[in-house]
Structure 1
Amino acid sequence: MSERLDDIAFQMVEPGKGILAADESTATIGKRFDSIGVENIEENRRDYREMLFRSTEAMENYVGGVIMFEETLFQKAADGTPFVDLIRAAGAVPGIKVDKGAHPLAGHPGETVTEGLDGLRDRLKKYHEAGARFAKWRAVITVSEDLPTLGGLKANAHALARYASLCQEAGIVPIVEPEVQMDGDPADHSIERCHEVTSAILKTVFDELYEQQVMLEGMILKPNMVVPGCKCSRQCDPEEVAAHTVSVLLRNVPAAVPGIAFLSGGQSDIEATANLSAMNAEYELPWAVTYSYGRALQAAALSAWGGKAENVGAASAAFTHRARMNSLASLGEWTQEQEAG
């Protein structure tokens, strides 16, 4: 495997492939396990993720990279095989979530900034030695009548850029994830408002990436799609979502970036797939435009698994189906008929 940052980035988003976000914290996966009545212990977390990583058809054909939580990066399968080796054997790139979460931003009521820069250089060295070749850092942007502020945007963009520069110094591809959240007040979160805020954060992020001398060819962008808030009375069809999202990207994301891997951001499984497919079917784009989904790839598999060894085959099949549907969407070839099939 090449150690060049640009080669790694292109491998992660090669045609028909996306990124599996399996980086749920122990607390977050505990909530997922609660929904299926499974105890949140290390053995169950291992078994569930092993089921995903051993889903050969999905991993070899539709997954270019896997984002892991720190526990998972150092974990081994039941037979002693390191998860990193399982992922590499499938032809995917192992990655690691490195941020320490969003915390209140002083002087900016209602806004957060992501922490985790202290000690990051040393952590990245450890993660690289363990086999990680990309990392992820998420910034959370809240939308309301008065938010986000310019100061809030700049604080998060600066942290993202410093993180990205440290990653590249360590030989690790940074996934830069500025997420405009979907749960804003209905009156304040139309698709037009999401367009405005997404454009503002992307412009600010790329200004900061330039200032921190981040090599754009060796990074991946993980943004939200431009969609109305979950509570907005006017929801939008895939064609409108695609038009708004592509407009924002073309104005703010340099063509040097190898790939844009969207988060699903509260959309249903089918919505996330349909919106992604509409972008790729209707527009000629300078980047690979694909997926970096967590729940939208895993929800059906988690439900099918239910914590039982006898359900591993059904869960793997459910994961493979969702991965294949999103692979088709990344090529602009997804249809409702294929989904039903």
Structure 2
Amino acid sequence: MPGLHEVATALVAPGRGILAADESIGTMSKRLDGVGVDATEDNRRAYRDLLLTTPGLDAWISGIILSTETLGQQLADGSPFAAAASARGIMPGIKVDAGVTPLPFTDATVTEGLDGLRGRLAGYRDAGAVFAKWRAALAPVGLSPRAIHANAHALARYAALCQEAGIVPIVEPEVLMDGDHPIDTCETVTNETLRAVFDELDAMGVDPSGIVLKPNMIVSGSDNPDQAGAEEVARRTLQVLSNTVPPTVPGIAFLSGGQSNEQACANLAAINARAATDEAAPWRLTFSFGRALVNDALQGWAGVAEHIDTAQRALADNCRRASEATASASAPVGT
């Protein structure tokens, strides 16, 4: 059985990234409604079936994050999703948080889901999951130190429980790009957040060589008319990571955060190109995208069986583009 470091390293293997297909029932139902598909359990299953059975997916995808619903479902051929992913050379993972709730006396949120997590992790492992994901969502404007600490502490408790269970934790502190804030705000808040996260991980005894970090890139607010270019995104992103992330972390898999596939891949390529000549960037740098990979496939499919091939080609093209954006990376995994 591979250890935590081996699994974490495999998740960030050169040229491969992580496909986030872990939308909650509510979120996935809204997306199906948006393309005119009835939001039924079977249609959610059919959509995830389409994603996982895309020909050649394992060339670009190392792991797939599933929802609890999907982990318990089967492909059309009767094989469980986790087993089918493993058979295709793609590691199955599971989203374990229960979403966000308001943090008392603040305008911020904190992520729930720690209650009963130890027992649930044992069940997920028995079902075939080898890694997990927990997302903290942080709005950058007006964010208090208390909100940062609450989310960092929850992430650390989750990560410790995962490692105790022999499951690699993906640690996802997302500073949201929603709003018109300047890139300076994103940089400052992300720096403070990642510093707090790694302080809490250390306090909880989490082994950094057995995690994957899933952060946001340092970008301008999505409604800001002055959008930073890819080179500035790369420079600021690597500066923040160099300030906060231990070199022993095997890899960093960036979230797309609402960026288009084209924008996310351009920024990822610039980050990797800059990191290739930066001794302060010892991690593998890859992607863990959701919408930036799957939106075109969902729209192309729209619930029509005859459109599956077209939808799968769209997914393959987006995954290939993201894989190519990692090609400039030459740094070794931290040891």
Aligned to 1:135: 132
Q: Does 1:210 align with 2:202?
A: yes
Counterpart pick for 2:104 among 91, 103, 106: 106
Q: Does 1:261 align with 2:253?
A: yes
After superposition, residues 23-172 of structure 1 pair within 5 angstroms as 23-58=22-57, 60-108=58-106, 110-144=107-141, 147-172=142-167
Query: What is the DSSP-based 3-state SS (H/G/I as helix, E as strand, rest coil) of the residue aligned with 1:56?
Result: coil
Instruction: For residue 36 of structure 1, report the CA deviation from its aligned partner.
Output: 1.0
- Identity rate, percent: 51
User: Quick one: distance in 1 between partners of 2:121 and 2:204?
Assistant: 18
Query: What is the DSSP-based 3-state SS (H/G/I as helix, E as strand, rest coil) of the residue aligned with 1:64?
Result: strand
Q: Does 1:332 align with 2:324?
A: no
Aligned to 1:179: 174
Letter in 2 for 1:245: T
The 8 Å contact of residues 12 and 92 in structure 1, kept in 2 or not, is answered as no
Letter in 1 for 2:170: I
Query: What is the DSSP-based 3-state SS (H/G/I as helix, E as strand, rest coil) of the residue aligned with 1:235?
Result: coil
Letter in 2 for 1:28: T
Counterpart pick for 2:273 among 278, 281, 287: 281
Alignment length, in residue pairs?
A: 325
Computed over aligned residues only, the root mean square deviation of the Cα atoms, in angstroms, reads 1.0
Letter in 1 for 2:3: R
Query: What is the DSSP-based 3-state SS (H/G/I as helix, E as strand, rest coil) of the residue aligned with 2:282?
Result: coil
Question: Please, which runs of 5 or more residues in structure 2 have no aligned partner?
Answer: 330-335
Instruction: For residue 148 of structure 1, report the CA deviation from its aligned partner.
Output: 1.1
Scaled by the length of structure 2, what TM-score is found?
A: 0.95
Instruction: For residue 332 of structure 1, report the CA deviation from its aligned partner.
Output: 2.9
Instruction: For residue 45 of structure 1, report the CA deviation from its aligned partner.
Output: 1.0
Letter in 2 for 1:297: L
Aligned to 2:292: 296
Question: Please, which runs of 5 or more residues in structure 1 have no aligned partner?
Answer: 334-341
Aligned to 1:196: 188
Instruction: For residue 283 of structure 1, report the CA deviation from its aligned partner.
Output: 2.0
Instruction: For residue 106 of structure 1, report the CA deviation from its aligned partner.
Output: 1.1
Scaled by the length of structure 1, what TM-score is found?
A: 0.94
Letter in 2 for 1:290: T
Deviation string, structure 1 residues 198-228 (Cα, Å, up to 9, x no partner): 0000000000000000010110000000001
Letter in 2 for 1:322: N
Instruction: For residue 241 of structure 1, report the CA deviation from its aligned partner.
Output: 0.6
User: Quick one: distance in 1 between partners of 2:328 and 2:70?
Assistant: 32
